[in-house]
Structures are given as structure tokens and as C-alpha cells.
Amino acid sequence: MAQNLVSSVTFPVLFFQLGFTFGNVVGMYLAQNYDMQIYNPLFFSLKIPNLAKKLEEIKKDLDAKKKPPSS
């Protein structure tokens, strides 16, 4: 009986904690990478980041770090 009670309480709490953590991570990502542009005091326009462009920039930076400096 006690084993069943522990598992019936533990799993929902665990899933709640995992969902809460995942939600916070996604929220922090969106807060850092979305530009808010106010065009009306009551409404907001979201500018979605171009992930492909960001990946290309990261690749260029990594390639630049790999190449030795030319003298």
C-alpha cells in the first residue's frame, strides 16, 4: 500500500517539475532571442529569429577560430 502511495505522488510531482523546468528554459530562450517591436500601445509585433542565419554565423565563427592567423 505504501509503495503504491509513493509512486502515485512521486510521478505527478516529477512530471510537474520537469514541465516547469522545460517551460522556463523555453521562456528564457524566447526572451533572449525575440525582438519586441511596439507598433501600438495595446499590441506587440514579434520578430522571429532566423535560426538558419544564426547557424551560418556560428559556423563562420568556428571556421575563423580554426584557421591560423595569416602573417
Cα–Cα distance for residue pair 18/10, rounded to 1 Å: 12
Residue 38, SS3?
strand
Question: Over the stretch 16-69, which tens digit does the pLDDT of each residue have?
Answer: 999 999 999 988 887 776 655 555 555 555 566 677 788 888 888 888 887 776
Domain boundaries, the chain: 2-66
pLDDT given for residue 49 in this prediction: 65
Inter-residue long-range contacts of 51-57, CB under 8 Å, 24+ positions, other chains counted: none
pLDDT given for residue 1 in this prediction: 55
Please tell me which residue, 3 or 30, carries the higher pLDDT value: 30
Q: What are phi and psi of 50, to 5 degrees?
A: -85, 100
